Amino acid sequence: MDENLLEKIKRLPWGDIKKHIAAKTPFEAISPMGSMLIRINKYEPLVALMPHTGHRVREEIISKMSIEEEDRLKDEDVHLHSIVKDFPVQIFGLDSRYEYDVDRSRSDAIYLKPFQCWGKKVWVNPPSKDEIELSLQKYDEFQELMEYLTEEFMKMHSKLVFLDLHGIAPKAGTKITGPFQMDIDTAFVTQEKANKSLDAFTASLKNIAPTLSVRGGTKVAGSLAKHLSDNPKALVISLGIGRPEQPQNIPSTLSQGLLKSAISSLEIL
């Protein structure tokens, strides 16, 4: 995400975040430790979640990294955040997944070994125990905020739809060969009622994305989707989308279509 834009957004303490939500006041804020950007335009049961939009790495550990910034960017969704700009509730991860990955289990959140991150060597010198602990505190903050937001929205609504969106590097011979092509991962959609809601989402989205594939083999759903799906009143739609290598204007029809499709799934959930 644009650092110049983020610098203009206030960090709010937990107490202020809770006050805004209790009063159902629209707000935009960065969490106390900086792990999350929360943007609530309306208190509607449609939440866009993008865990990997962050690029930030703490100064004291970036010098220990062997992975170059350009290579980090290939696995970060810094150019995709505006694709959910029409959603009433938007949640973004602000730190690089190469510092800690909020979409992994806590024990695997920090890529200490190449097998944890597609064979890539991340560190010249591994972070110290204290440095790891601070990264895990930021991980915990993100998870606790997700838990709190979910609980509060469940009190307001009888059902809730999450769009869990992840960028995928386009690759020839796969379901995603170019920017903005999409593939839905249905790993955590098992209930009959949820399947009908997913069908409604898919049918609506295919009006603007005819190349959309379902169960196409892209595995994007992570620990967040798995945890959120444990709630019987929630539907989690994990969507992989072709990640542009450079900033591109995202078609308004795409962002509007994602919201319209999410509404279609909510109506029959």
Give whichever of 37-51, 195-209, 221-235 has the largest mean pLDDT. 37-51
Write out the residue range of the structural domain in which residue 237 sits: 3-267
Burial of residue 41 (number of CB atoms within 10 Å: 0-12, 13-18, 19+): middle
8-state DSSP, 88: S
Count of domains forming the chain: 1
pLDDT band at 106; cut points 50, 70, 90? very high
> What is residue 190's predicted lDDT score, i.e. its pLDDT?
63
What confidence score (pLDDT) does residue 177 get? 83
pLDDT band at 110 (very low <50, low <70, confident <90, very high): very high
Q: What is the mean pLDDT of residues 71-75?
A: 93
**Which pLDDT value is given to residue 195?**
81
To the nearest whole number, what is the mean pLDDT of the chain? 92
Percentage of the chain lying above the pLDDT 70 cut: 96
What pLDDT is stored for residue 166 in this prediction?
Answer: 95
Per-residue pLDDT of 206-243, as tens digits, reads 888 777 777 666 677 789 999 998 888 899 999 999 99
**Cα separations (Å) of 54 from 102, 180, 187?**
11, 19, 25
Q: What is the dihedral of CA 198, 199, 203, 209, to 10 degrees?
A: 50
Q: What are phi and psi of 37, to 5 degrees?
A: -105, 125
Mean pLDDT for the stretch of residues 184-191: 73
Which pLDDT belongs to residue 72?
94
CATH code: domain of residue 51: 3.40.630.40
String of DSSP letters for 5-40: HHTTSPB--HHHHHHHHHTT--EEEE-TTSSEEEEE
Q: Kindly state the tokens that stand for 140.
A: 């915990």
| pLDDT bucket at 248, cuts 50 / 70 / 90 | confident
Per-residue model confidence (pLDDT) at position 45:
98
Q: Tokens 């629209």 belong to which residue? A: 26
User: What pLDDT score was predicted for residue 191?
Assistant: 63
Element (H, E) at 61: helix 59-62
Whether pLDDT at 15 is above 80: yes
Per-residue pLDDT tens over the stretch 126-179: 999 999 999 999 999 999 999 999 999 999 999 999 999 999 988 887 778 888
* The predicted structure's pLDDT at residue 216: 61
pLDDT at residue number 220: 72
Average pLDDT over residues 48-56: 97
